């Protein structure tokens, strides 16, 4: 629900086609609908919590009414926004900051006993594609998750999904190090979510634009399925479902 998400076709408004587009995603195999009101592309201007709330007004009640059985996720790092969404039909909080941009959000998640997507993110809100770790990158990833999981459990949050945070405060090499070392993330015995769809880590390697990055996205989705990733946050639901179907048939 943003005017400036990096992939133009993913931008939505409460237009006449909104419910049809969501319905098409569900029919194509989507299990969760993830709704955000702030672009996290590199260099994007971060809206305030009140601006996010104005963009999300009516979205969650409408989706919960029209699609009572689908899981709804709110993509925000504001506690106030998470509280509104969870009160009005959201099931999951997807926080790209790991609780770093608004410390209130963990208390909100604990109050609602909602599942929480914990993202590895050392960067700033501007989300520049640069490294923030001087050495031993994967060790930093493991330390981060270990500490954050412990802190979340102390606050009463136990249903945690890990997101290695592809593209968030990472160099190109670090993004691919995450893929090479993906098996290490299973040490925590948590579900793992990956969000690589059409991102610059694909476009820079293949020298393609956003419109022509679907083939590379599908290739990495197949690879990450072999590494037992559990949840895929995607722009292209039918194509992801094809990847999943073919991988299941090949096991």
What residues are labeled active site? 199, 233
Can you say whether the dihedral through the CA atoms of 134, 103, 184, 41 is positive or negative?
negative
Helix (H) or strand (E) holding 169: none
Residue 202, number of CB atoms within 10 A of its CB: 23
Residue showing tokens 């501007």: 126
Contact (Cβ atoms closer than 8 angstroms) between residue 104 and residue 80: yes
Can you say whether the dihedral through the CA atoms of 165, 171, 176, 180 is positive or negative?
negative
Structure tokens at 51: 């601006």
Q: If you count them, how many residues does the chain have? A: 251
Helix (H) or strand (E) holding 145: helix 137-154
Contacts of 153 (CB under 8 A, 6+ apart): none
């Amino acid at each position: 629900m943003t005017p400036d998400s990096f992939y133009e076709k993913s931008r939505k408004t409460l237009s006449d086609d909104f419910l049809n587009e969501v319905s098409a995603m569900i029919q194509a195999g989507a299990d969760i609908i993830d709704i955000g009101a702030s672009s996290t592309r590199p260099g994007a201007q971060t809206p305030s919590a009140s601006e996010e709330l104005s963009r999300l007004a009516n979205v969650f009640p409408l989706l919960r009414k029209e699609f009572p059985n689908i899981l709804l996720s709110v993509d925000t790092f504001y506690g106030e926004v998470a509280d509104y969404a969870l009160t009005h039909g959201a099931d999951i909080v997807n926080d790209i900051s790991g609780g770093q941009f608004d410390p209130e959000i963990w208390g909100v998640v604990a109050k609602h006993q909602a599942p929480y997507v914990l993202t590895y993110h050392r960067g700033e809100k501007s989300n520049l594609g640069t490294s923030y770790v001087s050495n031993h990158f994967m060790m930093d990833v493991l330390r981060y998750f270990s500490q954050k999981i412990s802190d979340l459990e102390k606050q009463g949050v136990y249903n945690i999904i890990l997101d290695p945070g592809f593209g968030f405060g990472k160099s190109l090499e670090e993004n691919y190090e995450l893929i090479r070392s993906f098996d290490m993330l299973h040490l925590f015995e948590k579900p793992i979510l990956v969000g690589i769809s059409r991102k610059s880590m694909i476009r820079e390697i293949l020298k393609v634009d956003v419109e022509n990055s679907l083939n590379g996205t599908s290739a990495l989705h197949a690879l990450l399925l072999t590494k037992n990733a559990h949840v895929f946050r995607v722009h292209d639901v039918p194509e992801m479902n094809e990847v999943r179907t073919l991988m299941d048939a090949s096991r």
